[in-house]
Amino acid sequence: MKTQVAIIGAGPAGLLLAQLLRQSGVESVILEARSEEYVLSRIRAGVLEHPTVELLHSIGAGERLGREGMPHDGVDMIFRGEKRRIDFPALTGGKKVTVYGQQEVVKDLIEMKKDFDGQILFEARNVQLHDIESDSPSVSFTRQGEEVVLSCDFIAGCDGFHGVSRPSIPAGRLRMFEKIYPFAWLGILAEAPPAQDELIYSYHENGFALFSMRSPEVTRLYLQCDPEENLDEWPDERVWSELHTRLESGDGFRVNEGKILRKDVTPMRSFVCETMRHGRLFLAGDAAHIVPPTGAKGLNLAAGDVKVLNDALVAFFKGGSTALLDAYEATALKRVWAAQRFSWFMTRLLHKFPDGEPFDAEIQIADLDYFTGSEAGRKTIAENYVGLPFG
């Protein structure tokens, strides 16, 4: 088999890159370790930044997004029992975010890829990268019992944090940074209409809580918990009781209860692999970086990376220029670190630090008061939340 760009991973990064390339007439094949059903059922991100929404529209993937996506003009923040609103359009010259589940984006992009050329190979096992330092790399894998070799001009490693691409770079060449937080999120998906139409981020003595949604019928909620949390200790009644406590702000808001469809625990980490390129291998999305979800940036960063990578690959295939490929890492990292900073900032602002010093806890309250109480503070949050421009 032969293609121009071998893309590893059918997450948002890989799928979006394939569509961007197709628009410019560049061929790609996606290799995905999991089955299509599995990929479509993964519940993850929910918030699309303004630039991500524009990018999806620009490639023709905005039709259902436009119909079913829920535009949000702001978020509420609660601390010490008081609710304050951040008004995005007023603070950013008219920008907003859209709540639309990551699995819906993935579904739309898989449909598009199938419509155009069908080159997504699900259940590709034992994917291995070869000759990435040469001009003719390849990827080998096993599928339906058959050994296959895919020759290509470039490999896009879009295979997430646990993928095979990053470890294919010689260890001595990897520049990596990591921060692990002493807490995690217990997430639930509930069959209950969202009790208000904007997100609520809450700092509470018992820990952080987040009210979000997936549709007019489904609410998504998160509670700060211990990274080693045992889900058996969280029967539904305890989950609801804790949500009511942490999201209370004296204005009559109360989460609607409903059947809990799913419960999961997400660890919190910040991670950057600055080596986003090695030879003909380019990393994009979670393969190169992880942000704690408090800033709602992960999926959006993946979109930013592949936009920059697409422009560079297209410039190479159309004009033979390597200038943008050579600049990929630096261009992408600028936005990556900006999103890391904001995700770290939101995480630090809104969580209860288990071993925090009393002084730091007071500074945190002063920060919450400043960033939600002054126009300059709110503007900083709004500008980052709706998304900085792609590189």
Q: Give me the least distance between CB of 30 and ligand RFL, in Å please.
A: 9
Site for ligand RFL in 253-272 (CB under 6 A): 266
Site for ligand PHB in 196-235 (CB under 6 A): 199, 210, 212, 220
Q: Which does 74 bind (CB under 5 to 8 A by kind): ligand RFL, ligand PHB, none?
A: none
Query: Is the Cβ of residue 159 or residue 248 nearer to ligand RFL in the bound state?
Result: 159
Q: Give me the least distance between CB of 33 and ligand RFL, in Å please.
A: 4
- Find the binder of ligand PHB among 46, 62, 69, 194 (CB under 6 A): 46
Q: In degrees, to the nearest 5, what angle opens at C-alpha 277 toward C-alphas 275 and 281? A: 135
Cα(342)–Cα(206) distance, integer angstroms: 23
Tell which residue, 167, 217, 154, 158, has the closest CA to residue 33: 158
Cα torsion angle, 38, 260, 230, 361, sign: positive
Tell which residue, 196, 213, 192, 208, has the closest CA to residue 243: 208
Cα(227)–Cα(266) distance, integer angstroms: 8
Q: Is 34 near ligand RFL (CB under 6 A)?
A: yes
Q: Is 384 near ligand PHB (CB under 6 A)?
A: no
Specify whether 201 is catalytic: yes
Q: Which does 190 bind (CB under 5 to 8 A by kind): ligand PHB, ligand RFL, none?
A: none
- Find the binder of ligand RFL among 7, 12, 72, 98 (CB under 6 A): 12
Task: Specify the amino acid at residue 104.
Answer: E
Query: Is the Cβ of residue 106 or residue 248 nearer to ligand RFL in the bound state?
Result: 106
Q: Is 304 near ligand RFL (CB under 6 A)?
A: no
Per CB under 6 A, the segment of 75-83, 158-166, 249-257, 325-333 that binds ligand RFL is 158-166
Q: Is 9 near ligand RFL (CB under 6 A)?
A: yes
Q: Which of 12, 50, 72, 289 is catalytic?
A: 72
Burial-class residue 358 by CB neighbours within 10 Å (0-12, 13-18, 19+). exposed
DSSP letters, 357-372, are: -HHHHHHHHHHHHHHH
Specify whether 297 is catalytic: yes
Task: Specify the amino acid at residue 86.
Answer: I
- What residues contact 203, with CB distance under 8 A and at least 6 apart? 77, 78, 79, 349, 350, 351, 352, 364, 368
Specify whether 385 is catalytic: yes
Burial-class residue 344 by CB neighbours within 10 Å (0-12, 13-18, 19+). middle
Q: Which of 181, 203, 293, 328 is catalytic?
A: 293
Specify whether 100 is catalytic: no
Site for ligand PHB in 285-314 (CB under 6 A): 293-294, 296
Residues classed as catalytic: 72, 201, 293, 297, 385
